[in-house]
Structure 1
Amino acid sequence: MSDNISREVAEAHWSKTKNLMLITLAIWAFFSFFIHFFVVPMNNIVILGFPLGFYMAAQGSLIVFVVLIFWFAARQNAIDEEFGVAED
């Protein structure tokens, strides 16, 4: 982080960054662990000929992870711009 920002601004920036990180980790944990715990009941739901549990295990979680990466990067960039510490 730049040396030209005050301590209060740096703490506010870290607070928002930490909250974003915790939200991202919660979403990641949900789609990494909790969805897969309920694969058997979700297999009763069929989408495009595939059981939902199978789809979430094979493709759905991976799609969510890729979207999550881009969402996190965009939100973090917005936070950095808000506090004047964005990269060029």
Structure 2
Amino acid sequence: MARRGPKSHWWRTRLLAIAIVSVWAVVTLALPFFNSISNGTGPGGVGIYVFMAEGVLVLMLALVFWFARRQQAIDREFAMAEED
């Protein structure tokens, strides 16, 4: 059952895409920048490096699955979902 028209669907999809790109930018651009400033020194220096090296990959994978799940929910809400 569709709630509103296609414009509402694309508006929600656009907001979701902006949110995903924003999180991606912070995780892949801002965090490494601040880690390079500290050069791994200070509290959690080595831990931050390990997080940046391996944790970000897991975070990006989780972000992709979260995006797909949210997009599918938006598509179902507006009756634009593909049948399984």
- Give the TM-score normalised by the residue count of structure 1: 0.79
Q: Which residue in 1 is equivalent to 2:43?
A: 45
> By how many angstroms is 1:78 displaced?
0.2
Partner Cα distance (1:21, 1:33) in 2: 17
- Report the count of equivalent residues: 79
Partner Cα distance (2:27, 2:17) in 1: 15
Percent identity (aligned): 32
Structure 1 42/83 Cα, relative in aligned 2: closer, same or farther at 3 Å?
A: farther
Listed as ranges, the gaps of 5+ residues in structure 1 are: none
Contact 1:9–1:83 (8 Å) recurs in 2: yes
> By how many angstroms is 1:42 displaced?
8.0
> By how many angstroms is 1:75 displaced?
0.2
- Give the TM-score normalised by the residue count of structure 2: 0.83
1:10 is the counterpart of 2:6:
yes
Listed as ranges, the gaps of 5+ residues in structure 2 are: none
Partner Cα distance (2:63, 2:27) in 1: 11
